[in-house]
Amino acid sequence: MAARLRGDKKFLGHDIVKGQSYLVTGGGSGIGEATAEQLVALGARVTICGRRAEKINAVAARLGDRCLAVTADVTHVKDRADVFRQAMAHGGGLNGLVNNAGNMYRAPIADFNQDRLLDIFNQNVISGMMLSQLAVPALAARQGAIIFLGSIHTRRAFPGAAPYAATKAALQTLTQVMAAELGDQNIRVNCVIPGAVKTEINERAGLGSTEDSATRMTALAPLHALGRIGQPMEVAEAIVFLLQSKWTTGALLDVDGGLGLGLTPL
């Protein structure tokens, strides 16, 4: 029998996103780019930001007028204020903040470097905390949502990746406390936990060439219960679901093809 279609791509919530306004940090590549693309395709207005102007400008050019690119480094106070102001102007308010910008810092314990540790916590955790603080009043006015990006590194231990894993665990806990704290302002706070998804983050971390990083990712495929690594758009779809789902808050949504289950192929 021919393979059957397993469910239409459209689910109820897709309609809700239309006409709304979202800010996606780190929208120049990977999961952030896919999220911006999906939100724009569903009729939303999206502001993306990133450090590399040519990257984010190219994404905005591809996605059209509903996508605005702002060159900004979210670790800088002034840049955060600027990107938030522009997102409010571009979308006429704010329905959702996707704290997607993040970087990888791997180091075995013997090589921990204090400046680099402070820097990775600043990039991955503190920037999102402070941007959320800026956005809360605007989000409260729209019953809006905040999304954080956790990681499979909190479900499985990868030796040598402690710095990155610790930042992601911080975000997951932050999600739960912020959800409890912001509930009475009707702001939902959720987190997606992606499995192995091929994006630039691994290449930027200096894990070797594009091919090296692709080989490493492919080697992870058999550890997923679904037998394959994921696509950025599959994570983006989960983010879109959490942005519009009216009664899900404080959730840590694994989007990992079953990698977190800990499958060991025999």
Residues marked as catalytic: 164
Which residue lies nearer to other proteins by CB, 81 or 233? Answer: 233
7 counts as binding other proteins under rule CB under 8 A: yes
Rounded to the nearest 5 degrees, what angle is found at the Cα of 193, between the Cα atoms of 228 and 241? 95
Residues from 173 through 202 that contact other proteins (CB under 8 A): 176-177, 179-184, 186, 188, 195
Among 65, 159, 247, 266, binds other proteins (CB under 8 A): 247
Q: Angle formed by the axes of helices 53-63 and 30-41, to 10°? A: 20
Structure tokens at 41: 């395709």
Is 260 a binding residue for other proteins by CB under 8 A? The answer is yes
By CB under 8 A, name the one of 136, 161, 240, 243 that touches other proteins.
Answer: 240
Give min distance, CB of 37 to other proteins, in A: 14
List the Cα angle 203/256/123 in 5-degree steps: 45
12 is a site residue for other proteins (CB under 8 A): yes
User: Residues binding other proteins: what is the number (CB under 8 A)?
Assistant: 53
Q: What are phi and psi of 105, to 5 degrees?
A: -130, 115
Burial of 247 (0-12, 13-18, 19+ CB in 10 A): exposed
Tell me how far, at minimum, the Cβ of 129 lies from other proteins, in Å: 17
Rounded to 5 degrees, φ, ψ at 33 are -65, -45
Could you tell me if 202 and 104 are in contact, meaning their C-beta atoms sit under 8 angstroms apart? yes
Q: Among 58, 129, 169, 251, indicate the residue that binds other proteins (CB under 8 A).
A: 251
Contact between 6 and other proteins (CB under 8 A)?
Answer: yes
> What torsion, rounded to 10 degrees, do the Cα atoms 25, 26, 28, 33 define?
-70
C-alpha 103/C-alpha 143 separation (Å) is: 29
Taking the least distance from each CB to other proteins, the nearer of 209 and 264 is: 264
Q: Pattern 208-237, binding to other proteins, x per CB under 8 A? A: ----------------xxxx--xx--xx-x
The site for other proteins (CB under 8 A) is made up of 1-14, 176-177, 179-184, 186, 188, 195, 224-227, 230-231, 234-235, 237-238, 240-241, 245-251, 253-258, 260-261, 263
